[in-house]
Structure 1
Amino acid sequence: MVAATVSLALTPVAAAACTDHYKEELEMAAARQAASDGTTVEAADAGKGNGKGNGKGKGHGNAQTGPSTLVTTPPTGASKDVEFIGQLPEAVGATAINFIDYPGKQKVMFVTGRFGLKSYDISDPEHPLPLDSIDMPGFWQNEDMDVDPKRKLVFMARDPRAFGQNQATGESGVYIVDAKFPHDLKVLSYTEVPAGHTTTCVNDCQFLWSGGPRPADWQPEDWDGRPIFAVDIRNPKKPKVHEYAIDLGRNDGVTDYSHDVQVDEAGVAWVSGAGGIRGYWTKGRQWDPVENRYRVASATDPVPYAGGKFYQSNQETWGGSLAHNLVRPLESLGDYDAGKVALVTIENFTSSCETDGRLLIVDLADSEQGQAWGSTEADPYRLPVISEWSPYGKPGSLPGAGCSAHYFQLRDGVLAQSYYGQGTHFIDVSDPANPTQIAYYRADGGSHWAPYWVGDVMYIADGSRGVDIVRPTYAQNG
């Protein structure tokens, strides 16, 4: 295959996770990745010189055959009711994982991180086989990576801090990768977008919503963070960025950091960020509680639904904390009706694990009257917090390790939540008022970003270790 080298220096990205607290850790991860085997390819002309990228390179991946480098020696650390299967160390710097099913019962895992993108055949989940890679040393960040399983596309959000740039002047955008043949990945297009920390499919992947991070120096001075920008990808070779931003005024009337989007099973697109959570309808004729009328929702002109701002109990003000991601279960939990609670990650790094960001469970019940869009500092609206959970002082935790909450997955009333250096904890949330840990897995030296179920196996994106593969056994152990 033809491969051209990207002219990218491994300049440390000026952020780790969503803050600077893990900068040294990720510098080390980048150094390990740079020393690994493999051919650097022209995934796009990203990061050359001034950080400009046009995504028009051939983008052929580095096709790989043969067995993976699965390490099966269990790490030191702590675990309860979790069986270690293996580790993929070549994916050090991993930030997110997603999956696409192919004909012949083939299942493919895509891993994104500071290295770019890697694909693996995981038809046998315990024995992943590497297929291809698009190598972008210094790429950032693409948390919560999304895919289009129908058109076989992978979306990569380029943060302005990628390739040694910074939030004030760096370029942000989105790469669309053609994964029709997962052993031969190609960059289909690159589009500059005014936001780029995350990007999420809405309306069946006909559009992307890109958000974050903090503002560029050319953006409005009264913005404290970047809102959402919609990208029309009905033609993925020629994406079109919508002119007008979405989710403005999210923090008591101030436009702030719209961090990520999760679309629930009812089709509501929930935006997490500074100032809490806000849900939007993106299609259909819906009641608009702000305009007090029915109107047709779209991905570029969504209709407000519900949400609001809230506080972690040990925070007098919102401070540096961030509503990072959420899930709104559409089944009843405990005494709460379906769709009336949200489980929310607060990402916040303080001087102590005791006060770091936690899992919060909040009550959405009375927030459907547009209150979040009318809230101000003078007349604030706040969501009630039902409960909080932190690994601080819990079995399996490690004193001194980073323990802010991060991404999670909910299944059968159990939340698998990653907490950076504290590993991944399995929390029974069937009673929202009393979340209870039932299992955990923590590898010494690890930095868990996000867990992903594949059948009874779980893949964990770890910024320091790559990808860990485990099997939770709490169900059969009672």
Structure 2
Amino acid sequence: MRTLRTLSLSVLAAATAAVTMAGPALACPPGDDDAAHATETHTTGAAVQRDVATRQIRSVPLPPSSAVKGVRLAAALPDAKGAISLGFLTYGRRTVMYVSGTFGLKTYDVTDPAAPKALGTLSMPGMWETEDTEADPRRKLVFLARDPRAFNGNTHTGESGIYVVSLADPAKPVQLAYEKVPAGHTTSCVDDCRYLWTGGPARADWMPADWGGRPVWVTDVRDPRHPRTFPQPIELARNDGKTDYVHDIQVDAAGVTWASGAGGVRGYWTHGRRWDPVRRVTRVARAWDPVPYAGGGVSEVAAPSKFLHNSFRPVGSTAGEAPGHGDLVYVTEEAFNPGCADDGRLVIASLRGSYGGEGWRSTPDRPFRLRAVGTWSVAGQEGSRTDTDDCSAHYFDVRHGILAQSFYTQGTRLLDVRDPAHPRQIAYYRPADAMSWAPYWHAGYVFVADNNRGVDVLRPEVR
């Protein structure tokens, strides 16, 4: 989640590219022969870079005071300025990237990741916020969350909801439906996109006064032209017994749905017959009546704000992407405090001790907390700016033990998390005009949704 605060940063109109900054050689993971050749240099003009797709040398302009190490810029899409989120859909051998942001929705052919080609646009100027925009890969549907602050609204009285957009023809995005929903900061697929869980932001005036934020409303999108939202919200009493802000939803490879926000991260089953450790019965889990699985708050030593932004649990088909084998959950804390040192961080926590419903019985008097295994903050790290206190952690994506994470004006960082107790930075990409919201691994590249720059396509030189 990002509030509508502004920063006085320059925005390049021309295509931008990677720049490297003086410093020691890159500390590479064992066996990383290619990365051993990565070095840093000063530049304020242009960097010569090899185009991965064409193998031609090209020169690209660079903003001064940028810091880049261990990655190359393969492509830049400044026409997507205002980007907040992106994702990928396949059409036979063709790959299409959809990008959501303040402009609405844009599509690109990224079959060649180093040479994206613009396809279509669904224009929605003033849209907000579309974080973590998700798609149904089978039906080629995209679901856009409308925050109450969209189109000059506000959290007190503004309207929120969900737009259902068809990308059957990715060059011609078509709005199929709009469903008004009491929440609208993020909306996420559950049960193979048959249902959506929508949460956040801060409570509206008509909501109970003791709520700290909006919980989750469930929407049936089996008929995409006629969405239907269940009247009663779920994921209540999540912050030591208080109903609070649910920020985002992630579904792991085992099918457990994780709700992150104020008070921690809690996982639920949304299908099948499951043991309910809170009710102490075996019952059928439904998207609108889920069964608790595990999770809870995270130690305030690791995440002082208690606001967990998003999560990832490596299990099943993703177990090879990061350590954990189901017992670790990777989460980010989003917090904007004076000075970088106390801003949000990456936290890797253990789920052990939470499988008995402990996270649902936590109270201020008898709090339950997950144990932090490892943490990482951008404060004081190589490549970081020292002239800003905007250092909060944001979205991340993991592939083969390398976690790419956005840190707003501090850019995109690549962390080796193969030892989860000691995450370490191995590369970074911090343009001077960065406003990095979310990185996504795809075909060996990292696609960065940057609210100032558009989309930058990075080719990591580390493994």
Q: TM-score range by the shorter chain?
A: 0.7 to 0.9
TM-score, length-normalised on structure 1? Answer: 0.83
Partner Cα separation in structure 2 for residue 352 and residue 390 of structure 1: 12
- Aligned pair count? 415
Q: Which moved more, 1:82-91 or 1:171-180?
A: 82-91
Counterpart for residue 366 of structure 1: 353
Q: Which moved more, 1:232-241 or 1:457-466?
A: 457-466
Partner Cα separation in structure 2 for residue 183 and residue 200 of structure 1: 23
1:421-453 deviation digits (Å, cap 9, x = unpaired): 111111111111111111111111111001111
Cα 1:335–1:300 shift into 2, 3 Å: closer
Counterpart for residue 308 of structure 2: 323
Counterpart for residue 97 of structure 1: 86
Would you say 1:80 and 2:69 are equivalent positions?
A: yes
Cα 1:178–1:72 shift into 2, 3 Å: farther
1:146-165 aligned at under 5 Å gives the runs: 146-165=134-153
Question: For the Cα contact (< 8 Å) 1:329–1:338, is it kept in 2?
Answer: yes
Question: For the Cα contact (< 8 Å) 2:321–2:398, is it kept in 1?
Answer: no
Structure 2 residue runs of 5 or longer lacking an equivalent are 14-57
Counterpart for residue 40 of structure 1: none
1:446 to 416, 426, 434: 434
Question: For the Cα contact (< 8 Å) 1:345–1:405, is it kept in 2?
Answer: yes
**Identity rate, percent:** 49
Partner Cα separation in structure 1 for residue 225 and residue 249 of structure 2: 23
Amino acid at match of 1:84: L
Q: CA deviation at 1:25?
A: 5.7
Amino acid at match of 1:443: P
Structure 1 residue runs of 5 or longer lacking an equivalent are 1-16, 33-69
2:67 match: secondary structure: strand
Q: CA deviation at 1:228?
A: 0.5
Question: For the Cα contact (< 8 Å) 2:437–2:449, is it kept in 1?
Answer: yes
The RMSD of aligned alpha carbons is 2.1
Q: CA deviation at 1:93?
A: 1.0
Cα 1:344–1:217 shift into 2, 3 Å: same
Cα 1:333–1:99 shift into 2, 3 Å: closer
Q: CA deviation at 1:414?
A: 1.2
2:151 match: secondary structure: helix
1:134 match: secondary structure: strand
Cα 1:84–1:370 shift into 2, 3 Å: same
1:56-205 aligned at under 5 Å gives the runs: 72-76=60-64, 77-103=66-92, 105-205=93-193
Q: CA deviation at 1:323?
A: 0.3
Counterpart for residue 19 of structure 1: 3
2:241 match: secondary structure: coil
Amino acid at match of 1:310: V
Counterpart for residue 194 of structure 2: 206
Counterpart for residue 379 of structure 1: 366
Partner Cα separation in structure 2 for residue 429 and residue 453 of structure 1: 15
Q: CA deviation at 1:221?
A: 1.7
1:17-56 aligned at under 5 Å gives the runs: 17-20=1-4, 22-24=5-7
Partner Cα separation in structure 2 for residue 440 and residue 359 of structure 1: 15
Q: Which moved more, 1:457-466 or 1:305-314?
A: 305-314
Counterpart for residue 61 of structure 1: none
Question: For the Cα contact (< 8 Å) 1:212–1:228, is it kept in 2?
Answer: yes
Question: For the Cα contact (< 8 Å) 2:411–2:435, is it kept in 1?
Answer: yes
Amino acid at match of 1:18: R
Amino acid at match of 2:310: N
Partner Cα separation in structure 1 for residue 302 and residue 294 of structure 2: 25
